[in-house]
Amino acid sequence: QVSAALKEGRVTPTELCQQCLSLIKNTKFLNAYITIAEETALKQAEASEERYKRGQPLGVLDGIPIAVKDNFNTTGIETTCASHMLRGYISPYNATVVQKLLDQGAVLLGKTNLDEFAMGSGSTDGVFGPVRNPWSYSRQYKEKSVPKSHSEDKESNWVITGGSSGGSAAAVSSFTCFAALGSDTGGSTRNPAAHCGVVGLKPTYGLISRHGLIPLVNSMDVPGILTRCVDDAAVVLGSLAGHDPKDSTTIQDNFKPFELPSLTDVSKLSIGIPKEYHAPGLSGEILALWSKAADLFRNAGAKVVEVSLPHTCYSIVCYHVLCTAEVASNMARFDGLEYGHRSDMNESTESMYAATRREGFNDVVRGRILSGNYFLLKQNYEKYFVKAQKVRRLIANDFVKVFQSGVDVLLTPTTLSDAAPYKEFIKEDNRTRSAQNDILTQAANMAGLPAINVPTALSERGLPVGLQFIGRSFQEQQLLTVAKWFEKQVQFPMIQLEVKRHDHDAFQHEKSASFS
Amino acid sequence: QKVSVEVLDHLEHLALVDFRDSEGVERLQKAIQFADQLHEVNTDGVEPMDSVLEDRCLYLREDDVTEGNCTKELLENAREKVEEYFVAPPGNIPLPKLEERDTFPQGS
């Protein structure tokens, strides 16, 4: 919608940019952004405006304000990964996906907050503090929350965004940008998308370049896309997908950007409902919603079948070993010599490295490095690492079997419950929380399959709940077509954000929601 | 089985990060316990999987230089440098053993 508005001149890119920047300032308490690139954003907006005046926009994304998770390299803008290790690090290059967006004329507003080095499921463990879910400040949530007493601080009841791309999800959800980049290794894009009521797409591994994305697990990482509607996600996907000579894990097949058809007839579809996704701890609310969604498809004529992915329950343990092992390797590059934090300790190379890493990494990161090294020790290699790789194959094969049996798309919940209040969430440590929350999203990363979260309904507490669709490898078009049909059926409500201006007048925000 | 002090020391040397305190060691113990669940799965005859793209040919580009000459930009992010060198403290000096370090709690 906003792209059309830009084309018709109803709004200019600079106006759009300034509105977003001012909204970012008004929503600072969400802590969604780490760095705001005000000057460069305005320059990009001005350049875009020139192009529209000449009637030569670069495409649908020209002039559209976007945000990028702070683990993507961006030239001239600080990239921190929410860690002390990279404070002050200014990259000399743009990640391929960032470059692609900029080449399309998108306006980069800033870098969003995350869990340190993308490790976590709450966006609570970064050095810049936790991200607050914009829905904590929505009329819908406030109406449902019962204050225990007049003097209870409403501020303390805010809920988490989920993680680790929480900043990106919050930015999209609070209208400060029209699309954001996240990353997805175990669910890090879909989890916060579900909690913040936005669309979160995890593309097939190998479709989008990882060059410039600071790696966590090389065999599972993908850049993720967060938008307010499925059509927008398809547009962004179209501009990002494709082979990159700088990332040899991208496939060489030609990628053709597609527009999503508006499906009316779902009778030829086969939807699979994996019974193991009825995981322990799944809230009754979400179970009911999942069931309702299955009925929705059934009543519309689609074939809905129960399927089995027997190794689902082992995906978290498998992930735990493979992730920590790859992390141990990937974090080895942070030694303080070439970039990033460097300790003052100067007695020897090793002691400088050790001190730099002790000072630069938080407990979560250090814990994973140490566990990873343990699993990679010669005496443990076969027992843990290779074993996990074998289990990985079993998990991937489960999916292959199910898709071979004729199922087109799988329908599952995305999270076990709606967003938890921050005070509750921090009662357990990072690893426990990740293990609990990643269970529904992790297997898709193991198998490299595309998956998308579609916001479905509000919970009893007035918070968003989403459902997940998992598709066949490289069949994003089919996956997104089904997701778009579903989105139309459920009509997820728009957030009624109550944000105070600086002059203390409360006002509601109902801007145009999508750009396509 | 608890992890021995020798292994803990070895891990700290390999990883060049420290456990900091007994909580860190506990965390490792729990992580190992958690990972032990893997042994419940029967993986006889199953090949380990390195990558989901294993059925495809890896892209290898031509061995031609297409970019570079960015010494200045690369050195900008380093704290200690001299001319075109990154400066490191003296090498080949091993970290002190666990018992001699004051960063590790004794007798855990």
Residue A154 lies in a domain: no
In the chain, the amino acid numbered A282 is L
Whether A7 shows a pLDDT value over 80: the answer reads no
- Residue A509's pLDDT band, with cuts at 50, 70 and 90, is very low
Tell me which residue has tokens 């998956």. Answer: A451
pLDDT digits (tens, 9 = 90+) for A217-232: 999 999 999 999 999 9
Q: How far is B40 from chain A (nearest CA, A)?
A: 9
Residue A153 has a pLDDT of 54
For residue B80, the distance in angstroms to the closest alpha carbon of chain A comes to 7
Output the pLDDT for position A145.
76
Residue B101: the pLDDT is 57
Classify residue A340: in a domain, yes or no. Answer: no
Closest residue in A to B60 (Cα) is: A248
Task: Evaluate whether residue A437 is within a structural domain.
Answer: yes
Is B85 within the bounds of a domain?
no
| Weakest-pLDDT range from A59-73, A95-109, A251-265, A497-511 | A497-511
pLDDT, one tens digit per residue, over A300-330 is 999 999 999 999 999 999 999 999 999 999 9
Q: Do B17 and A370 touch (CB under 8 A)?
A: yes
Q: Which amino acid is located at A58 in the chain?
A: L
Name the residue in chain A with its Cα closest to that of B32. Answer: A371
Min distance A480 CA to chain B CA atoms (Å)? 22
Q: How far apart are CA A32 and CA A5, in angstroms?
A: 27
Separation between Cα atoms, residue A30 and residue A21, nearest integer Å: 14
Range of the domain at A282: 1-141+159-314+388-490
Domain assignment of residue A286, yes or no: yes
Q: Do A352 and B41 touch (CB under 8 A)?
A: no
Residue of B nearest to A245 (CA): B61
**Is B33 within the bounds of a domain?**
yes
| Closest residue, chain A, to B84 (C-alpha) | A338
Q: Which of B38, B47, B76 sits opposite A388 (nearest CB)?
A: B38
Report if residue B103 sits inside a domain.
no
Task: Return all residues near A429 (Cβ < 8 A) that are at least 6 apart.
Answer: B27
Dump pLDDT digits (tens) for A20-54. Answer: 999 999 999 999 999 999 999 999 999 999 999 99
> For chain B (length 108 residues), average pLDDT per consecutive 10?
85 86 88 93 92 88 87 90 90 73 46
Q: Is the pLDDT of residue A513 over 80?
A: no
Helices B5-15, A363-376: crossing angle, 10 deg rounding: 110
CATH classification of the domain holding A455 = 3.90.1300.10
Q: Which residues of A touch B37 (CB under 8 A)?
A: 314, 317
Number of separate domains in chain A: 1
Number of folded domains that form chain B: 1
Question: What is the ipTM, given to two decimal places?
Answer: 0.89
Report which of residues A471 and B104 the model is more confident about: A471
pLDDT in tens, A374-384: 999 999 999 99
A396:B49 CB<8 A? yes
Domain assignment of residue B52, yes or no? no
- CA distance linking residue A427 with residue A421, whole number of Å: 11
Chain B residues touching residue A348 (CB < 8 angstroms): 89-93, 95
Residue A322 falls inside a structural domain: no
At residue A253, what is the residue type?
D
Q: Do A347 and B93 touch (CB under 8 A)?
A: yes
The count of other CB atoms within 10 Å of the CB of residue A284 is 9
DSSP A379-428: HHIIIIIIHHHHHHHHHHHHHHHHHHTT--EEEEESSSSSPPBHHHHTTS
How many Å apart are CA A447 and CA A397, to the nearest integer? 8
pTM for the model stands at 0.92
**Residue B57 falls inside a structural domain:** no
Query: Has residue B31 been placed in a domain?
Result: yes
Give the domain range for residue B27.
1-39
Q: Which of B27, B52, B78 faces A396 most closely, judged by CB atoms? A: B52
Residue A307: inside a domain, yes or no? yes
Tell me the average pLDDT of chain A: 90
